[in-house]
């Protein structure tokens, strides 16, 4: 998938909404791993979704005086202007605020330099200790993965599992001719506290795969 196709398909939006097929999702993940603009769209969109959950979780207070108590005449008796109008007004305010204030701020934040927590993993180190990282709530972090050069492998596969054991994502990238150093960004949206597992595999030109190690990342979200 190239950038023009990503824009045409609205891939970033559908990716966040879970509307992409598994094949299209994998293609888009490979694309935004190398496309800064699409990566920024995904990060801003993820932050917007997380913010929306917080805003929409707040109850809408309707004055009891504006909703007279009447006997229910039918099963559609709740569909009255006195109740619907305040709810719609509240939703319109939320949507307008997001479009005019929140989303532009998130886009500006996503396109600005950020200083984020990070942890380093050396694939050549067997039996490595668990690395710890302490992001703020909703803040992403980077994993710097160092892989020793090996002409035996033509690509590497990274699998990240959440503390609950769910596979967060799987990514395969081509091998480089010099020392391998990969930066993996872990978004802050829906981030769990606990120990993440990173599995690294080396792939050969003959479609053979070798396990290069499993590494633990303990995420301690700051209070």
Are residue 96 and residue 169 in the same domain, yes or no?
Answer: no
Clarify whether residues 161 and 209 are in a common domain.
Answer: yes
- 124 and 106, same structural domain? no
Confidence of residue 157 (pLDDT cuts 50, 70, 90): very high
User: 142 and 51, same structural domain?
Assistant: no
Looking at the structure, tell me whether residues 51 and 124 fall in a common domain. no
Range 99-107 average pLDDT: 58
Q: Are residues 124 and 33 in the same domain?
A: no
Domain that holds residue 62: 3-69+76-110
Under the banding of pLDDT at 50, 70 and 90, the label for residue 160 is very high
Q: Does 206 lie in the same domain as 137?
A: yes
Q: Is the pTM of this model over 0.85?
A: no
Same domain for 177 and 148: yes
Contact status, residue 186 vs residue 43, Cβ threshold 8 Å: no
Calpha distance 61→67 (Å, rounded) = 11
Shared domain for 44 and 122, answered yes or no, is: no
Give residues with Cβ within 8 angstroms of 45, minimum separation 6.
Answer: 12, 13, 16
User: What is the number of domains present in the chain?
Assistant: 2
């Amino acid at each position: 998938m190239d950038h023009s196709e990503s824009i045409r398909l609205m891939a970033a939006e559908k990716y966040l909404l879970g509307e992409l097929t598994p094949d299209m999702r994998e293609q888009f993940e490979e694309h935004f791993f190398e496309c800064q603009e699409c990566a920024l769209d995904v990060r801003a969109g993820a932050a917007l979704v997380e913010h929306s959950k917080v805003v929409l979780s707040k109850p809408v207070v309707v004055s009891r005086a504006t909703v007279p108590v009447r006997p229910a005449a039918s099963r559609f008796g709740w569909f009255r202007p006195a109740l619907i109008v305040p709810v719609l007004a509240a939703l319109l305010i939320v949507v307008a605020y997001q479009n005019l204030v929140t989303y532009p701020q998130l886009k500006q934040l996503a396109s600005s330099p950020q200083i984020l927590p990070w942890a380093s993993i050396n694939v050549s180190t067997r039996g490595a200790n668990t690395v710890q990282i302490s992001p703020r709530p909703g803040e992403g972090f980077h994993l710097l993965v160092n892989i020793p050069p090996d002409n035996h492998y033509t690509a590497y596969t990274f699998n990240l599992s959440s503390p609950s054991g769910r596979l967060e994502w799987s990514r395969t990238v081509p091998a480089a001719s010099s020392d391998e150093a990969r930066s993996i960004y872990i978004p802050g949206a829906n981030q769990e506290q606990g120990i993440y597992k990173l599995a690294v595999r080396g792939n050969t030109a003959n479609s053979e795969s070798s396990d290069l190690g499993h590494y633990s990342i303990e995420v301690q979200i700051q209070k």
